[in-house]
Amino acid sequence: MAELRKDYILDQYVIIAQERAKRPSQFSRSPPTPSSDKDCPLCPHNEHMIPGVLEQVGDGRGGWLMRAIPNKFAAVGQEGSAALSTHDPLFVHGLALGEHEVIIDTPHHDMEFEDLSVEHIERLLQFYAHRARVVESKPHVRYTALFKNRGEEAGASISHSHAQIIGLSVFPPAVARLFDRAYDYALRNESCPFCDVIRREKHSKRLIFINKTFVCIAPFASRFPFEAWILPLRHVPAMDKLRKEEFSDFAHMLRKVLRRLGTLGVPPYNLVFYNDERQGMFHFHVQVLPRLAKWAGFEHEVSVPINPVPPESASSFYREG
Amino acid sequence: MAELRKDYILDQYVIIAQERAKRPSQFSRSPPTPSSDKDCPLCPHNEHMIPGVLEQVGDGRGGWLMRAIPNKFAAVGQEGSAALSTHDPLFVHGLALGEHEVIIDTPHHDMEFEDLSVEHIERLLQFYAHRARVVESKPHVRYTALFKNRGEEAGASISHSHAQIIGLSVFPPAVARLFDRAYDYALRNESCPFCDVIRREKHSKRLIFINKTFVCIAPFASRFPFEAWILPLRHVPAMDKLRKEEFSDFAHMLRKVLRRLGTLGVPPYNLVFYNDERQGMFHFHVQVLPRLAKWAGFEHEVSVPINPVPPESASSFYREG
């Protein structure tokens, strides 16, 4: 019998359609055809194809390990006024202002993120955190989105491993709702909702992995098949507040989760990082969103995703995969 | 310069990324390979593959023109209690109860919806309205979603033209927000927001088509490339309240829009129908959502779609296509 589940704190329902459940192997895909590095703008020999380099981490031998570059096809611009024209309530608009950069994870064209060494991923997460903080500190930026798209179906237009940062001059209403809900919960319960979720889920069937400072769970109201959240056990509002050993545990866990997911045949996924740089009361976490099911008319009409994989099965897949 | 636009009434922004704009021809796709009707459960000779027929419209010669059948892989069940378990606020859940049916648009396996005759589409829209009303009248149904998925990328698992109706025992929060916003606007302005939108957009660059009783526009804050909304000029809360001549004008316009869209090579799309059967203050309309761009990590993190096609270009494409 299909089940209806509400998100921990958001007014967001999902349908866990057990009748439609498949075995993990039925989600398996053939790995995508490797792309050529000849025309790849993110490769070291194609520097003429990029607008410049914002910052990079050297390899100690004249090369680089990772670098931040401006997005050549930026979704937001850097010049003009951030004011919204609001005098006509049906037609509110303004310039889409902010920052849009790309972080190239590695100089190697055909390395998947999860095939990088733990040390490299640890250094990369620190670099992500640092660049997100740099973007956040710009005066016209009100919210900084940090995310990674892997695979065409997950919206990646370039296969060379990379992440993106978009700093926006408006605070996105959907994120404001999330932060408000967390704050409301904290006020009413004198406790962070994510700390409470961790306390409860680490003894549930939805636990995937736990180490000294990090936990990974399949969330109760998973919207995507094999959705996984990775959270620090300690209440930390933003990634740049993590300690050295936490970064290491984080890298270990993220790599492990993505490698298990990869056994389905290099599936498309998004990683989204929820940082709270301003109010500082949110609980930093990363959501792994595999894109193995299509959102159809129903999802777009009523915003109630239908997920054929119960999180209790997803957690078994990751643990035993 | 990229532009930020807010939805007419929702707290929902989009980025219209003009720098990323392409010419309509760049969205062109090769039409999908036609599927075989041999194993199609919606074809007239495969009745043994479906659980039964709920209602059908005959062709006067012993056959049928369109029919409603139960969805064999229903996302919601029909038995049990609709009560949600809410005593534990972090883990709210219940049975996903309701109705899930499929409407087969035509007995012909390889007819696209937009290739049906205007008279057939008119009759079909009346049948959709009637079935949505039947589902809505069930005591355990609180909201009825009516939608159509065309093409694999739009979530269609069967290529034979069909629509779906899902009656839910919960009112989806996202739809509640939409209805609330419309109601708030109406209270403050003594006018339906969609009536006001029509009044304004029918003289704007975003007008696509207009006839005696219907209008089609590319909405100001389009989330999808070539998004189009079709609305009755008269304030009608639900499709089954349309008059005979309105159904005819509606069918004409919907067919024309989808045929123009089809010149891009049978692209994937969703049609979503917003009916307000209960409160009766909403303005019925259909959204045509072409699925020519992928939603990536940014869309899922912050719910701010990036649309490379300004609605002003989309409307030209439809008008001149």
pLDDT category, A25, cuts 50, 70, 90?
Answer: confident
**Between residues B273 and A82, the one the model is more confident about:** B273
Span A141-163, average pLDDT: 95
What are B55's two structure tokens?
């209602």
Question: What CATH number is given to the structural domain containing A236?
Answer: 3.30.428.10
CB neighbour list of residue A2: distance below 8 Å, 6 or more residues apart = A15, A16, A17, A18, A19, A20, B74, B75, B76, B77, B95, B96
Q: Is the pLDDT of residue A22 over 70?
A: no
Q: What is chain B's pLDDT, residue by residue, as a tens digit (321 residues)?
A: 799 999 999 999 999 997 655 567 778 888 888 788 889 999 999 999 999 999 999 999 999 999 999 999 899 999 999 899 999 999 999 999 999 999 999 999 999 999 999 999 999 999 999 999 999 999 999 999 999 999 999 999 999 999 999 999 999 999 999 999 999 999 999 999 999 999 999 999 999 999 999 999 999 999 999 999 999 999 999 999 999 999 999 999 999 999 999 999 989 999 999 999 877 889 999 999 999 999 999 999 999 999 999 999 999 999 997
Q: For chain B, what is the domain count? A: 1
A270 and B15: CB-CB below 8 Å?
A: no
> Residue B86 domain-assigned?
no
What is the reported pLDDT for A33?
81
> Which residues 133-162 in chain B show a CB within 8 A of chain A?
143, 145, 147-149, 152-156
Q: What is the pLDDT of residue B31?
A: 80
Task: Decide if B4 and A84 are in contact by the 8 Å CB cutoff.
Answer: yes
Which pLDDT does position A16 carry in this prediction?
A: 93
- pLDDT on residue B229: 98
Phi, psi of B256 (to 5 degrees): -65, -45
Closest approach of A273 to chain B, Cα-based (Å): 8
Domain that holds residue B252: 3-19+41-79+93-320
Cβ contacts from A onto B, under 8 A: 221
CA distance to B29, B272, B289, per residue, from B268 (Å)? 10, 13, 9
- What are the tens digits of pLDDT across the range B103-145? 999 999 999 999 999 999 999 999 999 999 999 999 999 999 9
Q: Has residue A33 been placed in a domain?
A: no
Contact A272 B77 (CB under 8 A): no
Is residue A307 over pLDDT 80?
yes
Which one of A6, A152, A296 has the shortest CB-CB distance to B93?
A6
- Residue B29 sits at the chain A interface (C-beta within 8 Å): no
Q: Is residue B126 in a domain?
A: yes
> Is residue B101 situated within a structural domain?
yes
Contact yes or no for A268/A151 (Cβ under 8 A): yes
Task: Give the closest-approach CA distance of B60 to chain A in angstroms.
Answer: 33
Q: What does the alpha-carbon distance between residue B255 and residue B105 come to, in Å, rounded to a whole number?
A: 14
Q: Do A96 and B295 touch (CB under 8 A)?
A: no
Q: Quickly tell me which residue has 């319960």 as its tokens.
A: A189
In a domain, B57, yes or no: yes
Element (H, E) at A104: strand A98-104
Residue A138 lies in a domain: yes
Give the percent of chain A with pLDDT over 90. Answer: 87
Picking from A8, A92, A289, the nearest residue to B300 by CB comes out as: A289
Structural domain includes residue B36: no
Position B27 in a domain? no
What pLDDT, in 10s, does the model give residues A120-130? 999 999 999 99
Q: What is the pLDDT of residue B19?
A: 63
